[in-house]
Amino acid sequence: MGNETIMKIGVLALQGAFIEHLKTLRTLGVQAAEVRLPDDLEGLDGLIIPGGESTTIGKLAVEYGLIEPLRRFARQNPTWGTCAGMIFLAKDIGHDRQPILGLMDITVSRNAFGRQIDSFEVDLPIAVLGDAPFHAVFIRAPVVTAVRGSAQVLARLEDGQIVAVQEGHWLATAFHPELTADSRLHQFFIRLVGEKGA
């Protein structure tokens, strides 16, 4: 991507909290577009797969022929999955039978913390974002139970559970940076997209 073109990041908009991601991206001066059909991927420099119900998003992705185009796009371009999006990016989701892209070398367990009454928010240290902790919101969240190959752990809860991972130009977070005002993770992802295009 040359300096003269404005970066354009897509947000998968099949179901879930896609509007929050679009708003944050626009606040940061990036062009943001909703992706519902394969053609919507055209001209994008990066993609965010948002939180929502992973079974719903998976079924709609299959029905509208998005799985292979998304996989192809994500192999070539920076892609970030939050919560349901993290499940979508993982290679291994245990016994769950749902359509996934199967790209990142991680094992993810769905609804790992229990039901909604166990959903929580917590201050999370994330070294790549600097000293100030990131206020992270976990909603019926998944967790990463294994990391292999070149996948790097970016953040753990106090008890050691892995909740953020980077593997090359792929990013996965179990929590929802789109629900809080702190945009450091979005900026981190925008830098990934910028490096890739440079």
Among 31, 38, 71, 96, binds another protein (CB under 8 A): 96
Residue 122 lies near another protein (rule: CB under 8 A): yes
Asked about 34 being catalytic, the answer comes back as no
Considering the candidates 21, 169, 176, 186, report the single residue annotated as catalytic. Answer: 176
Q: In the complex with another protein, which residue's Cβ is closer, 80 or 138?
A: 138
Amino acid present at 95? H
Nearest approach in angstroms of CB 124 to another protein is 9
Nearest approach in angstroms of CB 92 to another protein is 17
Q: How big is the chain by its Cα radius of gyration, in Å?
A: 15
Residue 95 lies near another protein (rule: CB under 8 A): no
Asked about 176 being catalytic, the answer comes back as yes
Q: In the complex with another protein, which residue's Cβ is closer, 115 or 198?
A: 115
- The answer to whether 50 touches 12, Cβ cutoff 8 Å, is yes
Asked about 83 being catalytic, the answer comes back as yes
Spatial CA neighbour of 54 closest among 8, 1, 5, 112? 112
With vertex at residue 125, the alpha carbon angle to CA 82 and CA 148, rounded to the nearest 5 degrees, is 60
Separation between Cα atoms, residue 196 and residue 127, nearest integer Å: 22
Separation between Cα atoms, residue 56 and residue 49, nearest integer Å: 13
Q: Is 33 helix (H, G, I), strand (E, B) or coil?
A: strand
* Interface segment toward another protein; rule CB under 8 A; list 24-32, 73-81, 120-128, 181-189: 120-128
Residue 40 lies near another protein (rule: CB under 8 A): no
Residue 77 CB coordination number (10 Å) = 20
Nearest approach in angstroms of CB 109 to another protein is 12
Nearest approach in angstroms of CB 1 to another protein is 29
Q: Is 39 helix (H, G, I), strand (E, B) or coil?
A: helix
Matching residue, tokens 């991601």: 21
Interface contacts to another protein, rule CB under 8 A: 13-20, 36, 51-53, 55-56, 59-60, 63, 83-84, 96, 110-111, 114-123, 137-140, 157-159, 176, 179-180
